[in-house]
Chain A
Amino acid sequence: GEDVEQSLFLSVREGDSSVINCTYTDSSSTYLYWYKQEPGAGLQLLTYIFSNMDMKQDQRLTVLLNKKDKHLSLRIADTQTGDSAIYFCAESLRREYGNKLVFGAGTILRVKS
């Protein structure tokens, strides 16, 4: 299948860490992505990880990939109010006609000051 699932909502206090989780079903995915969407806007790529990696760190962002369990997580350290947004997990799947991006439903992150 091509399902990507995420929890719908996360609320944290400013300065705490946020962890957003994602599970996927298609083991043929080669890249996995995290996108951020602010209200009324398009999606902005935050970070991505290649499927043969376990972890990737980029400033306040840490991505963990457990390929055996098909589980991906995004940790945001020192979460700020500007991090409030919807976060989408996505996987890139090779198909006969090219690459297909499949997205989860998105996790709404609310940061309380």
Chain B
Amino acid sequence: DGGITQSPKYLFRKEGQNVTLSCEQNLNHDAMYWYRQDPGQGLRLIYYSQIVNDFQKGDIAEGYSVSREKKESFPLTVTSAQKNPTAFYLCASSHSGNTEAFFGQGTRLTVV
């Protein structure tokens, strides 16, 4: 079945550690996105990528990094520089152009 998969579903991180969230899609989509969701604030764009080996900062990129070495994969690293990383992280993908985005099931990151 085609789809977009995020892992893990739950992730706990100690303060000062970097963690990487996985996002994989087998929909042959060119574009991939990372969003952060906080209660009452909706979705905020962290990074997006329209093509392999290229990506752009979104509205809240500070403290995050990404890579896009393969079309299918767009991992997000939450670095120790991110001051408030506890949130629900959503990955999405779409074909190029103004078409619908498909979302993964999300990763809930908690700093302990």
Contact = CB atoms under 8 A, between A and B. Distances in A.
Q: Do A and B bind each other?
A: yes
A45 B100 contact: yes
Contacts of B44: 103
B98 A92 contact: yes
A87 to B, nearest CB: 11
A43 B42 contact: no
Contacts of A98: 31, 48, 50-51, 56, 96
A42 B103 contact: yes
Nearest to B108: A40
A44 B48 contact: no
**4 interchain residue pairs of minimum CB distance:** A98-B50, A105-B42, A42-B103, A103-B43
Interface of B: 6, 31, 33, 35, 40-45, 48, 50-51, 54, 56, 58, 90, 92, 94, 96-106, 108
B90 A8 contact: no
Interface string A26-46: 000011010100001111110
Counting chain A residues whose Cβ lies within 8 A of the other chain, the interface size class is 20 to 34
A97 B56 contact: yes
Say whether chain A's binding surface is mostly helix, strand, loop, or mixed: strand
Interface of A: 4, 6, 8, 30-31, 33, 35, 40-45, 48, 88, 92, 94-95, 97-106
Contacts of A101: 33, 45, 92, 94, 101
Given A97-B50, A98-B48, A102-B45, A45 B98 contact: no
A84 B94 CA distance: 26
B50 A31 contact: no
B48 A40 contact: no
B101 A41 contact: no
A8 B39 CA distance: 11
B42 A104 contact: yes
28 contacts: A4-B42, A8-B40, A30-B98, A31-B98, A33-B100, A40-B106, A42-B6, A42-B90, A42-B104, A42-B106, A43-B43, A43-B92, A45-B100, A45-B102, A48-B100, A95-B56, A97-B56, A98-B48, A98-B56, A98-B96, A100-B45, A101-B45, A101-B94, A101-B101, A102-B45, A103-B35, A103-B44, A105-B40
